[in-house]
Amino acid sequence: MAAVEGVRHRTVEANGVRLHVAEAGPEGAAAPAVLLLHGFPDLWYGWRHQMAALAARGYRAVAPDLRGYGDSGAPPDASAYTTFHAVGDLVALIADLGQPQVFVVGHDWGAIVAWQLCLLRPDLVRALVNLSVVYHPRQPERSPLQTIRAACGEDHYMCRFQEPGVAEAEFARYDIKYVFNKTFGMRKPAALILPKDKSFFDSLDSDGTCPPWLSEEDISYYAEKFSKTGFTGGFNYYRCIDLNWELSAPWTCAPIKVPSKFIVGDLDITYNTPGVQDYIHKGGFKASVPNLEDVVVMEGVSHFINQEKPNEVSDHICEFFSKFL
């Protein structure tokens, strides 16, 4: 395991799944805890910079590998990767921390899970900072995949990830370090479309070299972990998109009321998905998250914002959470 200074590791039995948890900062229940939730294809390791910054300011930074990732357990059934399952894992983890409330930061799928945690258990969350992925309340008219297909067509990457085994086979065709260099290097400000006559990685705009904000050691850590687990756990979150929608019917049109801040890069594929910028900047997002206190759009920054601009993101997180201490 890559040694990151000041980070300790342990295992928590949560909701029937073994969660690997990385922590930094003061131990015990006295220090305010911050849950850091990663996305795809990522791990707790993606938060290493924020963990150091939070620990230096007296927070207990807690970054689990979500179910299906890294050193956490990976249920075999694809339907075990709904946001409800992930929130159940986090509720158990928060109980283990011994605190009535925690701060939460999410990126990518971690942001989606964080929004869901705030929707289902707002009593557990003091304040939230989410990166890259906005909150859209459940709409009854059509499912998320139907919406994606209507806006972007069948070749949108989320559609390409749906059939079990297909995306796994595409990823397996390439050297795993190349996979991470290509993925982390994406900078094209557009929805990610994967034409069926091209492979996933032929469709990405990056050249396959290590991005300047990562080291070869960083890439090696990701390669080591995903060589052992594969990518199925991560793909299964995408395969539950419509199942999440079905299970969320009781929360149709429900707002998020937790105090929140949102940060995104202007090159992020999520920010450049059709309709998202209008939703963020023309009132829709604020209506759905009435206690949204700030939206930050970083110029020249792509999807993996917490690693590309670690100091700026850490400062935003700490500044926002300091209001609630």
Q: Give catalytic residues, as residue numbers.
A: 108, 238, 303
Q: What does the alpha-carbon distance between residue 45 and residue 63 come to, in Å, rounded to a whole number?
A: 8
3-state secondary structure at position 308: helix
DSSP string spanning 84-127? HHHHHHHHHHHHHHT-S-EEEEEETHHHHHHHHHHHH-GGGEEE
DSSP string spanning 41-64? T--GGGGHHHHHHHHHTT-EEEEE
| Residue 104 near residue 34 (C-beta atoms within 8 A) | yes
* Whole-Å CA distances, 282 to 66, 205, 286, 287, 288: 33, 30, 9, 10, 12
Q: Which amino acid is at 151?
A: A
| Pairing of β 17-24 and β 60-64 | antiparallel
Q: What does the alpha-carbon distance between residue 25 and residue 4 come to, in Å, rounded to a whole number?
A: 13
